[in-house]
Amino acid sequence: MDTAMVVDLGRQALWMTMIVSAPMLLVGLLVGVIIGVFQAATSINEQTLSFIPKLLSIGLTVAVFGGWMINSLVDYTKVLYGRIPALFG
């Protein structure tokens, strides 16, 4: 196993992490911005007001995209297991 292979495995792991976490992060960001604009427009300075909508929206995102996220991670894991003979052979 050489350094190029290790760097490639690390790059693929970071890319998979980014792809799988992107739907939840984007929905959380969008809901946070919408609630922040609403709070600024109405002068409501309650910090806990944004927590429940973010929690519910991220939970809904996991319910909608959860199957795709699991399938992506399973496929990535199968590829990693398939590369084990090449890593040590």
User: Does the CA dihedral 86-68-18-62 come out positive or negative?
Assistant: negative
How many angstroms separate the CA atoms of 68 and 62, rounded? 10
The dihedral region occupied by 2, where left means phi > 0, alpha psi between -120 and 50, and beta the remainder, is: beta
Question: Could you identify the residue written with the tokens 């992490």?
Answer: 17
Q: Would you state the pLDDT for residue 88?
A: 78
What is the per-residue pLDDT across 64-78, written as a single tens digit (0 to 9) for each?
A: 999 999 999 999 999
Q: Would you state the pLDDT for residue 3?
A: 87
Count of domains for the chain: 1
Domain range enclosing 80: 3-88
13 pLDDT exceeds 90? Answer: yes
What is the per-residue pLDDT across 22-75, written as a single tens digit (0 to 9) for each?
A: 999 999 999 999 999 999 999 888 888 889 999 999 999 999 999 999 999 999
Question: Could you identify the residue written with the tokens 């922040």?
Answer: 36
Alpha-helical runs (H) found in the chain:
3-42, 51-82, 84-88
**Quick check: 29 and 78 in contact, CB under 8 A?**
no
10 pLDDT exceeds 70? Answer: yes
